[in-house]
């Protein structure tokens, strides 16, 4: 039998199904949530540096807008496909509802390999993507943001292109922008900061001292590198980190600031002299207190879950653990901070950025971080209440909170009768 648990779209459907059944709400809630309201597939033509024209496939998915305009990142990755983007949009609906943000879930992306593109090509591709989806996005409709392999510079080109099409500056179109054109203080660090915050809180409840914990981090992008750096600054021992080309291990701990400096000059982690090379798979199985999978989907599966030795898995990536692996971890007593909670700091500060854009009034980094903490604590408390009430995993509890809110919104809006 094919392992459907590796298909993130089917997994997202299954999670909503279980939540609707556990809550005992109208079956129509599942009928609506089991697929996105709108899925756009676009052809994105752009001119390569050598003058040839190439066409890439792009997507934008709007899962459910009962709670507000849809919101979610854009990823540039060779594996981007319709089912993946649909699942990621569904997970955004859960994240936004869980955090109490006035948004539904959206997501988008382009199937491409940024390592094969020059900066000029990435700019032209980004602008063409916005032209292709400009009719369906907007500050009150659907608000993109960064995700895997996209960054503030790409957001800047995109908001510029949209503003040109509209004939007016529309900074509220997109979040994760550079500060000088309406970005928010704290947005770049928000996902990693939130991940450390949520994981540290759970560790405390389990009697594990995060500030002295041994930590391994898979993925050294915007989420993993910030989480590693904050954990290191708190005193935790970061024994291993990795990126897509492989990892580094030092049982005595890695100086994360030094490594960040090395990455700035060398562009990747390879060859760093103060640690041993380690494979991505081995990294996941290290004897640590805390494991942060902060790369891509399907990293902890039925194949390796049994070998995980961490006490807590704090999910920075979206969908790193399959349901079968989840069950194995649960039986082993490994606690999991689910992705929809663990990486929700990003979209939460994106919401703050959008509020600042719409009100033209900007906050200090302190205000941003303090509000981030408030939103995350509230969501963690709601998740915990469901965890205790229904005796389910934290992931299932997060889905219960979110599905209940989505059901309430659809009910009062009259969608269910």
Residue 126 interacting with ligand GLU (CB under 6 A): no
73 binds ligand GLU (CB under 6 A): yes
C-alpha torsion sign, points 101, 102, 104, 110: negative
E-assigned strands of 33-152? 38-47, 53-64, 70-71, 74-76, 104-110, 142-143
Q: How far is the CB of 191 from ligand GLU (least distance, A)?
A: 7
What interhelical angle do 365-390 and 82-99 show, nearest 10? 90
Contact code string over 88-117 relative to ligand GLU, x by CB under 6 A: -------x----------------------
Is the CB of 160 or the CB of 339 nearer to ligand GLU? 339
Closer residue to ligand GLU, CB minimum distance, 221 or 323: 221
Check binding of 152 to ligand GLU (CB under 6 A): no
Active site residue 263: no
Q: How far is the CB of 61 from ligand GLU (least distance, A)?
A: 13
CA distances from residue 143 to 101, 136, 318 in whole angstroms, order as listed: 13, 10, 19
Q: How far is 400 from 311, CA to CA, in rounded Å?
A: 24
**Least distance in angstroms from the C-beta of 234 to ligand GLU:** 23
Q: How many CB atoms lie within 10 A of CB 416?
A: 15
- The H or E element spanning position 17 is helix 8-23
Per-residue CA distances from 6 to 15, 41, 266 (Å): 14, 22, 34
The residue range among 47-55, 65-73, 274-282, 308-316 that interacts with ligand GLU, by the rule CB under 6 A, is 65-73
Can you tell me which of 145, 154, 155, 410 binds ligand GLU, judged by CB under 6 A?
Answer: 145
Q: Supply the minimum distance, in Å, between the C-beta of residue 375 and ligand GLU.
A: 13
Q: Which of 36, 69, 72, 172 binds ligand GLU (CB under 6 A)?
A: 72
Please list every residue from 303 through 322 that binds ligand GLU, using CB under 6 A.
318
Told to check if 80 binds ligand GLU by CB under 6 A, we report no
Span 333-362, contacts to ligand GLU by CB under 6 A? 343, 346-347, 350
Label the pairing between strands 276-278 and 246-249. antiparallel
Yes or no: say if 247 and 269 are a contact pair by the CB < 8 Å rule.
yes
Shortest reach from residue 153's CB to ligand GLU, in Å: 16
Residues 6+ apart with CB under 8 A from 165: 130, 131, 134
147 binds ligand GLU (CB under 6 A): yes
Residue numbers annotated as active site? 107
Which residues in this chain contact ligand GLU in the complex, by CB under 6 A? 71-73, 95, 145, 147, 175-176, 318, 343, 346-347, 350
């Amino acid at each position: 039998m094919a392992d459907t648990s590796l298909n993130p779209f089917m997994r997202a459907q299954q999670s909503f199904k279980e939540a609707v059944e556990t809550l005992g709400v109208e079956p129509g809630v599942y009928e609506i949530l089991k697929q996105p309201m709108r899925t756009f597939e676009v052809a994105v033509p752009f001119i390569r540096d050598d003058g040839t024209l190439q066409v890439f496939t792009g997507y934008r998915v709007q899962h459910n807008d009962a709670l507000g305009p849809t919101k979610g990142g854009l990823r540039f990755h060779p594996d981007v496909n319709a089912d993946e983007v649909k699942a990621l949009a569904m997970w955004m609906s859960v994240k936004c509802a869980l955090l109490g943000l006035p948004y539904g879930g959206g997501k988008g992306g382009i199937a491409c390999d940024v390592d094969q593109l020059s900066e000029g090509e990435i700019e032209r591709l980004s602008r063409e993507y916005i032209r292709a989806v400009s009719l369906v996005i907007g500050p009150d409709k659907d608000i993109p943001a960064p995700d895997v392999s996209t960054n503030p510079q790409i957001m800047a080109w995109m908001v510029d292109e949209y503003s040109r099409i509209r004939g007016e500056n529309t900074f509220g179109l997109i979040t994760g922008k550079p500060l000088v054109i309406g970005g928010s203080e704290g947005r770049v660090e928000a996902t990693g900061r939130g991940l450390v915050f949520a994981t540290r809180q759970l560790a405390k409840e389990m009697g594990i001292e995060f500030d002295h914990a041994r930590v391994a981090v898979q993925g050294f992008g915007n989420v993993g590198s910030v989480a590693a750096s904050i954990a290191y600054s708190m005193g935790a021992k970061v024994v291993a980190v990795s990126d897509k080309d492989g990892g580094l291990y030092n049982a005595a701990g890695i100086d994360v600031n030094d490594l960040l400096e090395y990455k700035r000059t060398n562009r990747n982690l390879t060859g760093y002299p103060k640690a041993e090379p380690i494979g991505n798979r081995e990294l996941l199985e290290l004897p640590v207190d805390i494991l942060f999978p902060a790369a891509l989907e399907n990293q902890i599966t039925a194949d390796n879950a049994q070998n995980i030795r961490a006490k807590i898995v704090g999910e920075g990536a979206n969908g790193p653990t399959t349901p079968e692996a989840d069950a194995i971890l649960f039986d082993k007593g490994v606690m999991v901070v689910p992705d929809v909670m663990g990486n929700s700091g990003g979209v939460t500060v994106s919401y703050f950025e959008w509020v600042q854009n719409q009100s033209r009034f900007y906050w200090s980094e302190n205000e941003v971080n303090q509000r981030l903490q408030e939103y995350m604590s509230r969501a963690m408390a709601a998740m915990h209440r469901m965890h205790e009430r229904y005796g389910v995993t934290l992931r299932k509890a997060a889905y219960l909170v979110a599905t209940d809110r989505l059901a309430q919104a659809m009910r009062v809006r009259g969608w269910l009768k």
